[in-house]
Chains A and B, each alone.
Chain A
């Protein structure tokens, strides 16, 4: 019977494919989540007191509950309220909302970091609100946001490992599958860890170099 067998070369392909799914689910979530997060972050700087409070309260929920719980809860909630989502769709949705909650936070603080003096100067030079936004606040604010955003994006890539609990075969789930078959936890975990490191480390380095150069 073939239910246990050693590690083979094609298993690396199996892991690489799963790493592709890790990139896919985190890429989609980061893409959509960042766009919506930018808009919400901006809204948080312009809304009235009540609106800001409400929006912040909602976003805050997703920062105050473990991602693991969010995933399991929503995965089970969707079918209860009438539409069944597969592991990928449910995982993407939860990760996206999680990204929105994090990105809106860093966006808000980035935009608020643009000094009021600078903006007053811009307005007194005759720039309209939108011109001020377009030429002053966004360029200056976003540059301040960028390093924090990279941090958020990288944490979403890593946290996407939790989607494995929904049965989505991303990198970590695939390595568990292989461990089941080969009973070689150490080497398989090491390979999976190296994959994550190779995804995350270059981006982190690039961001910190960018930050350093910009700070000078």
Chain B
């Protein structure tokens, strides 16, 4: 009887070991084993992510996805997402990583894990030529748009109490709808990143560059499963290597066309 119990114990211990052995596999193992990297990107954010004229994904973030997949020796499976879809893709395990200009806010860090920043933007407005907006103060009382779930939306909202009735905000599902809204004159201004604002203002006759917004610098990170520290470590190293090998500069020059911004913050460890 005792012997029987012991064997049973052994078996279940072995079972537990096997089970935990599988459970311990991290995203890195899964990606290599699967042979594909499921990489989420935002594709209405030119030149960081967009559809080219063959209706294929292209842009800085898309190249980063491909580089990351290359480093792992796997195929890339690009998942186009809107702003608000990005983090749910990670939380529910449908994407391995989001390379989608995700600002590393503390609120979001309660839901997903962030790598070190891989790019940095300045928040800037694009304005309709008829809006008469020149400074940030001018946006008071004007209709201002941003994508639902962007940090620009959240930072702008911090002015809501101050401005009271002069606070007029409109959220849209995608960055593209923000551009369209400004272009059509549905809103007076849209809030986006500085490097995106440039091409948009060039493309449309009735959109021009608006004021740089008084928000903190917008450091953007890759997002992965929060508890998967080994995977996040790998992403950190990947970002480091991209800078070290000059690939970061190269891609930035190719897509954005200016000097690549410094990714370090002075006076504090990450």
Contact = CB atoms under 8 A, between A and B. Distances in A.
A and B touch in the complex (CB under 8 A): yes
Interface of A: 1-5, 8, 10-11, 14, 75-76, 78-80, 84, 86, 167, 176-181, 183, 185
A176 B81 CA distance: 13
B188 interface: no
A3 B94 contact: no
B70 to A, nearest CB: 23
Nearest to B44: A180
Interface in B41-82: 43-44, 46-47, 50-55, 58-59, 79-81
Contact of A167 (B85, B92, B180): B85
B212 to A, nearest CB: 22
A185 B93 contact: no
A84 B92 CA distance: 8
Interface of B: 43-44, 46-47, 50-55, 58-59, 79-81, 85, 88, 91-94, 174, 176, 179-180, 183, 199, 203-204, 255
A3 B59 contact: yes
A11 B80 contact: no
Nearest to B203: A4
B51 A180 contact: yes
A193 B50 CA distance: 24
A2 B179 contact: no
A3 B88 contact: no
Contact of B92 (A79, A176, A180): A79
A14 B53 CA distance: 11
A181 B183 contact: no
B55 A11 contact: yes
Nearest to B46: A3
Nearest to A78: B92
A80 B199 CA distance: 40
A58 to B, nearest CB: 24
A75 B81 CA distance: 14
A79 B176 CA distance: 29
Nearest to B54: A10
A79 B96 CA distance: 13
Given A1-B199, A180-B51, 15 more contacts: A1-B255, A2-B53, A3-B47, A3-B50, A76-B92, A79-B92, A79-B94, A176-B176, A177-B55, A179-B180, A180-B44, A180-B176, A181-B55, A183-B203, A185-B180
B53 A183 contact: no
A81 B114 CA distance: 24
B54 to A, nearest CB: 8
Contact of B79 (A2, A167, A181, A183): A167
Given A3-B59, A178-B55, A181-B53, A79 B93 contact: yes
Contacts of A10: 54
Count chain B CB atoms within 10 A of each CB in A3, A14, A75, A76 and give the residue with the most: A3
A180 B43 contact: yes
Nearest to B55: A14
A183 B94 contact: no
A5 B55 CA distance: 10
Given A79-B93, A167-B80, A167-B81, A5 B180 contact: no
State the 9 A-B residue pairs at the shortest beta-carbon distance, nearest first.
A3-B46, A79-B92, A3-B50, A5-B53, A180-B176, A180-B44, A79-B93, A181-B51, A14-B55
B183 to A, nearest CB: 7
Nearest to A5: B53
A183 B180 contact: yes
B37 to A, nearest CB: 15
Contacts of A3: 46-47, 50-52, 58-59, 199
A179 B179 CA distance: 11
A79 B199 CA distance: 38
A4 B204 CA distance: 10
B50 A180 contact: yes
Nearest to A75: B92
